[in-house]
């Protein structure tokens, strides 16, 4: 069974730009969560979607948003990028139990 | 604030010995506990999950859960150099938000 896929894998943007990251969950998984990982803050929860509805949201500013499509694929968007948004963005999918992570998108904001 | 705490290490263990990793959590009502292994530059990989008090074994790995003490641990038997990584403890708190500890860096010494 194919794992969680994320695109793109690497991204370089400049301050003020916006970015969209994509996540395709494991087939059959309807829950998709997003996390930000930085050396200083560790892994922090952004939001979780289930059946196209946001079920939970972490403590991030409104510049961070997401959505889920009917096929369970999910996207997250960051608008007005700041230097501090440089991080590894991870997506995880689950069937209601154990979350499995994708390879991540490494975002560098210059 | 729901929290998960781990000793950041580094923890150094000789090859062939048992590595013991510990994690405490703040919410007594937590039901689901996970251990992830993360190699440098890679995404977290799920290696163990445990939902009930007691021990759960899978190959060289044993997860131990004590809900009364709010404590979960991971034992790695016959440690190998390939086990050198950061180990992340994660806990589902009641609202389905997966919260991670800061991770313990484990080094296996040949």
Per-residue pLDDT, A97: 86
Mutate to test the interface with A, among B4, B6, B43, B85 (most CBs of A within 10 A): B43
Assess B58–A contact: CB distance below 8 Å, yes or no: no
Give me the residues of chain A with pLDDT under 50, please: none
Distance from CA of B12 to the nearest CA of A (A): 21
Per-residue pLDDT, A101: 98
Region of B54 on the Ramachandran plot (φ > 0 left; ψ -120 to 50 alpha; else beta)? left
Q: What is the pLDDT along chain B (110 residues), one digit of tens a residue?
A: 779 999 888 999 999 999 999 999 998 888 899 999 999 999 999 999 999 889 999 999 999 999 999 999 999 999 999 999 999 999 988 766 889 999 999 999 99
Per-residue pLDDT, B95: 65
Distance from CA of B45 to the nearest CA of A (A): 7
Burial class (CB in 10 A: 0-12, 13-18, 19+), B102: middle
Residue A94 CA to chain centroid, in angstroms?
A: 14
Cα–Cα distance between A48 and A46 in angstroms, integer? 7
């Amino acid at each position: 069974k194919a794992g969680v896929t994320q695109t793109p894998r690497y991204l370089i943007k400049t301050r003020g730009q916006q970015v969209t990251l994509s996540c395709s969950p494991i087939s059959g998984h309807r829950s998709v969560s997003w996390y930000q990982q930085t050396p200083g803050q560790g892994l922090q929860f952004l939001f979780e979607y289930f059946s196209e509805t946001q079920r939970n949201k972490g403590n991030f500013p409104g510049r961070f948003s997401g959505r889920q499509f009917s096929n369970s694929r999910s996207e997250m968007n960051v608008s007005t990028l700041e230097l501090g948004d440089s991080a590894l963005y991870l997506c995880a999918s689950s069937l209601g139990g154990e979350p499995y992570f994708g390879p991540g998108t490494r975002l560098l904001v210059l | 604030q729901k929290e998960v705490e781990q000793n950041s290490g580094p923890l150094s263990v000789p090859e062939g010995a048992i590595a013991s990793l510990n994690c405490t959590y703040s919410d007594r009502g937590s039901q689901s506990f996970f251990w992830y292994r993360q190699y440098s530059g890679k995404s977290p990989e799920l290696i163990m999950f445990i939902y009930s008090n007691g021990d759960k074994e899978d190959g060289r790995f044993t997860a131990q859960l004590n809900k009364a003490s709010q404590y979960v641990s991971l034992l790695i038997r016959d440690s190998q150099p390939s086990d050198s990584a950061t180990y992340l403890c994660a806990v589902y708190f009641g609202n389905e938000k997966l919260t991670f500890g800061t991770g313990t860096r484990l080094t296996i010494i040949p």
